[in-house]
Amino acid sequence: MEEDFYKILGVDKNASGEEIKKAYRKIALKYHPDRNPGNKEAEQIFKKAAEAYGVLGDTEKRTKYDQFGMDGLRSTGTPGYSTFEDIFDAFGDIFGGGSIFEDFFGGGRARGKAARKGASLKCDIEIDFKDVATGVEKKIELTKREICDTCRGTGAREGSQPVACSYCRGKGEVQQSQGFFTLRTTCPKCHGAGKIVESPCTKCGGSGRYPKKSVISIQVPPGVEDSTRLRLTGQGEPGESGAPSGDLYCDIHVKPHPIFKRQGNDVLCEVPVPFAQAALGCTIDVPTLTGNIIQVKIPRGTQNNEVIPIRGEGFPNLHGYGKGNLLVQVIVEVPTKMTPRQEELLREFAELEKKNISPRQKKFFEKMKGLF
């Protein structure tokens, strides 16, 4: 039986991305192998949590998992979990450098002169409230440190090549022995590259990278929540020596709407209704997220703040569980200014109310008498 990733992290299926991240962080801090040396049970819990977060922390993988389980991830060739390198980057403050986390998961970050994954990037995307209902494509301009096309990433001037670092002999790291222990540190001269550029490239200055602007299209899915983080795999900066590119993390910011408010997948709309119409019943026009106007029937005797749900007019569920509702909240308006005729009619109505006390009023007065 495959374990439920939500149960592993101890979160609800409707948990937000931030709640999932906090839950994983809590488990990772508690069961990290460095904090539980020799504890196999803690290692197992830690590894399962990392696998669960690798799926639930990725919007695309989470959607497939919610709809089809692990079969959905396998059928598309998507691994059941993110690389632990991604989790390492997201929670570097937990794992830190030199942790046995690297050995525990069979590698982790490359050491020395081994090729390293490209740097991940972050951007912010602002979308309109109504775009959440349908999803929207956004184009952003990013400046990436791409491989220099003059030196092809070597950092060396045309006609020359980098030479092996004399300090670490091309290993990218230096090794020091202290009794039974061996300490490996990054070479201070070549900074782990294992090579030294003696004649730098005139375009990139020897870094092998050059800033270049690029335009990226980002598909924001329907139902996305404010502060959701999307990950675009491989859209970060290129890696070293053929290593994978980093990822692009996009934080979504939803603009507030002047009429609508979000409540989960439901949309709340406060509609003012004159008190006479609320008492007698009426039909009112109400806007929807798509810009259409629908007619909503207000029953006789509708009270202030009563909510009338309109099914299926809310936001679609981000993970494919149908749509929310439009919640029409009736705000009964009491007039502050009246014509002499209106006041005359209301006074007449008030006299009739004195003779015909409502059950609710009667009950209230009985309770009040009991207090004294």
**Where are the chain's structural domains?**
3-103, 119-144+209-252, 256-371
> How many of the other CB atoms lie within 10 Å of CB of 370?
7
Right CATH number for 256-371 from 1.20.970.10, 2.40.50.140, 3.40.50.300, 2.60.260.20?
2.60.260.20
- State which residues of the chain have pLDDT below 50: 76-86, 88-90, 92-113
Write down the pLDDT at residue 182. Answer: 66
269 labelled ligand-binding: no
- What number does CATH give the domain 3-103? 1.10.287.110
**DSSP for 318-366, written as a single string:** TTSS-B--EEEEEEEEPPSS--HHHHHHHHHHHHHHHHS--HHHHHHHH
Q: Whole-structure pTM over 0.85, yes or no?
A: no
Q: What is the pLDDT of residues 151-187, one digit of tens each?
A: 988 889 988 999 999 989 888 888 876 555 667 888 8
Write down the pLDDT at residue 111. Answer: 44
CB 136 within 8 A of CB 129: no
**Phi, psi of 37, rounded to the nearest 5 degrees:** -60, 130
250 labelled ligand-binding: no
Q: Where are the alpha helices (DSSP H) in the chain?
A: 5-9, 17-31, 40-56, 59-68, 70-75, 84-90, 92-95, 101-104, 131-134, 275-280, 340-355, 359-371
282 labelled ligand-binding: no
Q: What whole-number distance in Å separates Cα of residue 22 and Cα of residue 10?
A: 11
165 labelled ligand-binding: yes
Write down the pLDDT at residue 70. Answer: 77
